[in-house]
C-alpha cells in the first residue's frame, strides 16, 4: 500500500484525507492518506523519507520549507517559492504548487478582467503570479507595508490601505486570514464598500464558512464563492500526481465532490 499525508501545524482541521481516501477507495487504488502534525518545517524531509511516504500535501506554515527541501521544483512553483505538494520518485522529492492553478480553476466561470487581491502572504503571492502567467495584472492591497516589497520588486501595483486609490475591479479575492477564526473584515468597511460597489465577484480562500468579507459582498449583491472549490481543485491536481495520472481527472473530481457533500 502507498502512504500519503498532509503535513502542517495545525493539521487536525484538514479534510484532505477525506477527499483523497474517498478517491482511493472508490477507484480501488491501493493508497491511504493521513495527517501528520509537523512543528518544525526543517524536519519535513526526514519524516517524508523516513516514513516512506509516496506523496504529501504541505500546508501552513511549512510551504516555504517544502520548497527549499525539495530536490526538484516543477512549474509555476519555481517562481512562487512555495509548494504544497511533494511526490516521492524513488527517494527524490519532486515538488509542485497546486494551490495557484487550483484557485484559478475555481474562478474560471466568472467573467473578469481587473483583479484585486487582499493580503500579501504566501497565498497572495501564488495567486498573483499565476494570474500574471494567465495574462492578468492583479493589484495587491494589504494592511501593512512589509510584505508588499515582494510584489513591488516584481512590478505589481501594491498598496497599503492608506495609500490605496480606488480603482475599478471586477474580481476581489480575500487571501488574508481575517475571518478564519475571528469576525473581522480584511480591510476597513468603508473601503471595502467602495471597492464592492464597482465589482461583480468576490472570492474568499477560507473555506466552509461565510466570512464577514463574503457576507458584506453578498449583502451588496456580488456573486461570491468561498475557498471550498480551491480546496477541491488543488486536491484534484495533487491526486493526479499522487496516482501517476492513472485515474481520469473527471472521475477524481466527481468522487471528491461527493466526499465534500458527505462531510457537509
Ligand atoms: N482553500 C484553500 O485550499 C486554501 C489554500 C491555501 C490557503 N488558504 C487560506 O489562505 C489564508 C492565508 O494563508 P497564507 O498562507 O497566505 O497566510 P500568510 O502568509 O500568513 O499571510 C496572511 C496575510 O493576511 C493578512 N492578515 C492577517 N490577518 C489580517 C486581518 N485581521 N486583517 C487584515 N489582514 C490580515 C496579513 O497582513 P500583514 O502583512 O499586515 O500581516 C498577510 O498579508 C489562510 O486563511 C489559509 O487557511 C486556503
Residue nearest to atom 13 of ligand 1 (CA): 123
C-alpha to C-alpha distance for 235 and 59, rounded to whole angstroms: 12
The tens digit of pLDDT for each residue in 163-190 reads 998 789 999 999 999 998 899 999 999 9
- Contact between 140 and 148 under an 8 Å Cβ cutoff? The reply is yes
CA 82–ligand 1 middle distance (angstroms): 14
Q: Which three cell numbers mark 191? A: 473601503
Alpha carbon separation from 234 to 19, 45, 241 (Å, rounded): 11, 22, 11
Do 92 and 132 lie in one domain? The reply is no
Whether ligand 1 lies within 6 angstroms of the CB of 120 is answered as yes
Do 183 and 233 lie in one domain? The reply is no
C-alpha to C-alpha distance for 85 and 63, rounded to whole angstroms: 9
Nearest atom of ligand 1 to the alpha carbon of 60: 15
Residue 160 structural domain: 101-226
Q: Mean pLDDT, the chain, as a whole number?
A: 96
Whether ligand 1 lies within 6 angstroms of the CB of 85 is answered as no
Do 108 and 219 lie in one domain? The reply is yes
CA 127–ligand 1 middle distance (angstroms): 12
For residue 181, the model assigns a pLDDT of 83
Do 219 and 233 lie in one domain? The reply is no
Whether ligand 1 lies within 6 angstroms of the CB of 175 is answered as yes
Whether ligand 1 lies within 6 angstroms of the CB of 61 is answered as no
Nearest atom of ligand 1 to the alpha carbon of 144: 40
Do 129 and 207 lie in one domain? The reply is yes
For residue 165, the model assigns a pLDDT of 83
The tens digit of pLDDT for each residue in 190-242 reads 999 999 999 999 999 999 889 999 999 999 999 999 999 999 999 999 999 99
Do 10 and 63 lie in one domain? The reply is yes
Nearest atom of ligand 1 to the alpha carbon of 99: 5
Do 194 and 124 lie in one domain? The reply is yes
What's the CATH code of the domain at 109? 3.40.50.720
What's the CATH code of the domain at 89? 3.40.50.10860
For residue 166, the model assigns a pLDDT of 75
Residue nearest to atom 20 of ligand 1 (CA): 121
Do 131 and 211 lie in one domain? The reply is yes
Strand pairing class (223-225; 115-118): unpaired
For residue 180, the model assigns a pLDDT of 87
The tens digit of pLDDT for each residue in 75-100 reads 999 999 999 999 999 999 999 999 99
Alpha carbon separation from 181 to 21, 192, 224 (Å, rounded): 27, 20, 20
CA 180–ligand 1 middle distance (angstroms): 9
pLDDT tops 80 at residue 160: yes
The number of folded domains in the chain is 2
CA 153–ligand 1 middle distance (angstroms): 20
Amino acid at each position: 500500500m502507498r502512504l500519503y499525508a498532509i503535513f502542517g501545524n495545525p493539521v487536525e482541521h484538514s479534510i484532505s484525507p477525506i477527499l483523497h481516501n474517498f478517491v482511493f477507495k472508490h477507484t480501488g487504488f491501493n493508497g491511504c492518506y493521513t495527517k501528520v502534525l509537523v512543528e518544525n518545517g526543517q524536519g519535513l524531509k526526514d519524516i517524508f523519507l523516513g516514513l516512506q511516504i509516496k506523496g504529501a500535501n504541505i500546508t501552513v506554515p511549512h510551504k516555504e520549507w517544502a520548497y527549499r527541501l525539495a530536490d526538484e521544483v516543477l512549474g509555476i512553483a519555481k517562481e512562487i517559492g512555495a509548494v504544497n505538494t511533494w511526490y516521492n520518485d524513488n527517494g527524490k522529492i519532486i515538488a509542485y504548487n497546486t494551490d495557484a492553478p487550483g484557485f484559478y480553476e475555481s474562478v474560471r466561470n466568472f467573467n473578469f478582467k481587473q483583479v484585486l487581491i487582499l493580503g500579501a502572504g504566501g497565498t497572495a503571492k501564488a495567486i498573483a503570479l499565476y494570474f500574471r502567467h494567465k495574462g492578468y495584472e492583479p493589484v495587491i492591497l494589504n494592511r501593512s507595508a512589509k510584505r508588499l516589497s515582494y510584489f513591488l520588486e516584481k512590478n505589481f501595483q501594491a498598496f497599503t490601505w492608506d495609500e490605496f486609490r480606488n480603482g475599478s475591479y471586477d474580481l476581489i479575492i480575500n487571501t488574508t486570514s481575517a475571518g478564519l477564526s475571528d469576525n473581522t473584515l480584511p480591510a476597513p468597511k468603508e473601503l471595502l464598500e467602495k471597492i464592492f460597489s464597482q465589482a461583480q465577484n468576490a472570492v474568499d480562500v477560507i473555506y466552509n464558512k461565510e466570512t464577514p468579507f463574503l457576507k458584506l459582498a453578498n449583502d451588496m449583491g456580488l456573486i461570491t464563492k468561498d475557498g471550498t472549490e480551491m480546496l477541491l481543485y488543488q486536491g484534484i491536481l495533487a491526486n493526479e500526481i499522487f496516482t501517476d495520472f492513472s485515474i481520469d481527472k473527471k472521475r477524481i473530481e466527481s468522487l471528491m465532490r461527493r466526499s465534500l457533500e458527505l462531510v457537509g
